[in-house]
Structure 1
């Protein structure tokens, strides 16, 4: 009988020494132990993530094949990155580095909505309003996913990006909901402790993302998954070369390509009448009245958020535009003859033979330009107008009209028959 009493008392003594399980952390941790654990951490926003714990990360030694976004059906096959795994290069070739001022915790899986959510074997511990995790990617990322767990009602995670706007999906809606501007995730179920996947979507893309916590409850674990996705670089469609004549209007040049992209352009020859740089479409402009052909290389570069795509190049060529000025006409010297002529002076018209079009009998006619002048020969009486000739697609015109007449004669009647 004494033996039984002794065992019963010993059992009561052991029960009184056992800390109460708080329903949040794996194992048995008292509130006093948790407080001491918080106070013992040293945090510095400028120090890298804790690398003192060697990660036995699931899949780190396997081939990296996750180069698409995770969802609730694929996340369990993704590599979970521990703080000591950074910098890390994914199967997509993008490298991510991390800095944090948080502590770390070993993982325990937590459920939500029929799924189990486990972080890396060692995970960041977000439990304070001053906690900050910063991820820096080698290329803009439009989608990334994290697993959080050990989360209680009222905990809020805030996700920010250096560029773009974040929205959240792929989380367990049974216990979590978005908050704030849509970039916050809040645990909304009590009692219980939960886990979830959450995907950050940022169509504009960013190279820098940050995670923070509202400090509620005892905090949560969080791990990045190797299923972050780079934004495809913006593109600009090819642009046809443009040719214009000096003094003419150059039609607007409209750029097409990635929706939402800005198209920045540069011009290496402002002599054509276009500024050295600009963004967006090139508005209609007047080509300079050049005396020699000018060729400008226009380089167009697409930009979307923090991403810059490959440039395309096209040319704008401005050619000298010839001019025609009417000179003195000479009437035919005999009736019915065709030895009348009209003189012209020109500019930007090299010496040579050209075809002159006009309204009137005999059009077109070849003319010989020499020293910026020529004669339109072989004309009979009549009205001539709308003179034009072309050089390299640029036309010179003179309106006229010019009227040529036959010579006039006085007719005398021989009344006395003497001839």
Structure 2
């Protein structure tokens, strides 16, 4: 696998998507992203390109760097916007928090504005990512590193330069007389990526080059795609949705371990909208023993297993009717009248079940125990509330002209962990 000329790499990536009319470019001011911007203008014309810069506020120079990008875009005739992240005081892994914020902010900016967003990760970035995943003991998915194209948050993200060297992008800039900014954090060895970059130099005498590692990542992507086909077949054969929960045939437990684990991880991420797959040991413990993981509960019910949300995980979530609850549920009810004023979607909880029990005792409707759902499962289901009073529970014999709709479980491959 030889490195690819930058402009050809970009145009090929766009053609592979059937042609992109409006392209967003994430531009930090560094050499890679500025080269991507210039190439995007050459490929599509400035009027079809929009640029975005996320100012994380992590360095004193970030504001001036954003201005530099804005000035460059103005000269090119490209629309540009700066998005500010105010999470610099976030606890825990700051770099991870910044990366997730960047995806969220750019995704929101891009929606309705562009058809796809390109991110200028290079062949060296891919090799560094693979080394970092090796250090974590990653399996096929981790060693597949970064995908050249993926959907996330309803947006298409493209990485057209994963087979293009960093130096080739710098040469694009030199040939066009374009300056760029060197981020001093790229030399800070407190970051694992910088240490991985240094390790690449040390590995070269063994023949372990960035290009070889990127080739391994590409082969792992093919392996992952094949595994995803088999996992999708297992999902179709063994999983059904029941009132927003998932019934899983016990036969799924006898699937090859890799397929089984992928299936359960996918279902957990789909229900919990977690950004990352659960750790393998915890996942396998859940599969064999049941219990709670990622805000979901796996329990045994006769010939099936049932995967549902954990009541505690959704207890504090309250949204007005018309908004999405738990990133998955919507509700419709009477068009007008006192039944809809100040109506909210919230978890059933113990209080909701108590109100239903009192209603059943008075003969208003059957008891919630006759739903076939356990108390723990029902407590986590959505219901309609008004001023602390339960006004509808469509899953417990009390619809009152209300309906609840859950977003279907997406196909395998549509729920993916955030990557660099």
Q: Answer 1 or 2: which has greater helix percent.
A: 2
Q: TM-score, normalised by structure 1?
A: 0.20
Of structures 1 and 2, the one scoring higher in RCO (CA 8 A, sep 6+) is: 2
Bigger radius of gyration among the two: 1
